[in-house]
Chains A and B, each alone.
Chain A
């Protein structure tokens, strides 16, 4: 039993720990009021539930393509699901008429360009990425 517990503990933390080395920023365009999102809120936005960022602006998630390593890190750190389980989740959402997966961008540059031009769009980049002037970090909160 002791070995079993040890194995479960080990398996549960190996992959997230390896992904935890690089931090992630969740970013969007500057808004009329300052906004910070919790991990729960970011997770929900990326699972297809949009929220009101201001009275007139609604969130809209964008993501990197599935082959991008930053996406794997974001999946592990923020969403908490592997890519294949996310794909399974999206099949459930799409074919039950609930919601659709975020629009994908192949590179961080193309994602940044989209965010610069689209109010309410949310994306993620490696922490310490040099951001265009009109983009701000909304997660993590500190």
Chain B
């Protein structure tokens, strides 16, 4: 068992993610989500308010502003999160391959003794 009960933001005792990495990864998930939310909201406003142009312009501008901010922050965060994903990829490879190899080795062993 990996015990992270002290605090997830204190990092993983098994050499996993640091607190900063966890925060960056979560922040980027949130930003990617926010960008999509705002893009959808823009589209929905266009659908809903085709007949009331004044309201459309006000809502569109506000949502567009928020979208621009989110995209800018997301771009700035990209490098940090790429680093997290690189770290995760290495660990995924280790976790996936080792049990598979172990299972194959066990099957070969059983084959020999059968």
Q: Check if A and B associate.
A: no
**A interface vs B, CB < 8 Å?**
none
